[in-house]
Amino acid sequence: QVQMVESGGGSVRAGGSLRLSCAASGYTSSNYCMGWFRQAPGKEREGVALIYIGGGSSYYADSVKTRFIISQNNAKDTLYLQMNSLKPEDTAMYYCAAVLSYSCYSGLLASDRWWNYWGQGTQVTVSS
């Protein structure tokens, strides 16, 4: 059973940076996509970024492209989301997620229903 625990959320002013971490355990192969989703109050959960842990291919939502960077550590047991130039509209609960897959593609960001494993979330608040 894959388990995921996020950390690193907090409050920051617009223009600032935060780095989220997600400690993952329990997976037995590299055939996983791991990603970040976020959910703002009153809105649906939306995909932010994903990466194929076996090969490093990554994809981003248009709203965060050029500002956010998804990465993993060498042991492939920690997922990161470096968030730069934060905006108030980035305020949300951020979740890491994983799905068993032999490839990753941008379409996986379109819906959370294809993702099997979720962390509990970490709150990011950006003030203007």
Q: How far apart are CA 113 and CA 81, in angstroms?
A: 21
Cβ(94)–Cβ(37) under 8 Å? Answer: yes
Cβ(63)–Cβ(92) under 8 Å? Answer: no
Residue 57 burial (CB < 10 Å; 0-12/13-18/19+)? middle
Q: Higher confidence at residue 54 or residue 126? A: 126
Report the pLDDT value the prediction gives residue 56, as an integer from 0 to 100. 65
Name the average pLDDT for the chain.
94
Report the pLDDT value the prediction gives residue 34, as an integer from 0 to 100. 94
Q: What confidence tens digit (pLDDT) does each residue in 68-92 have?
A: 999 998 888 899 999 999 999 999 9
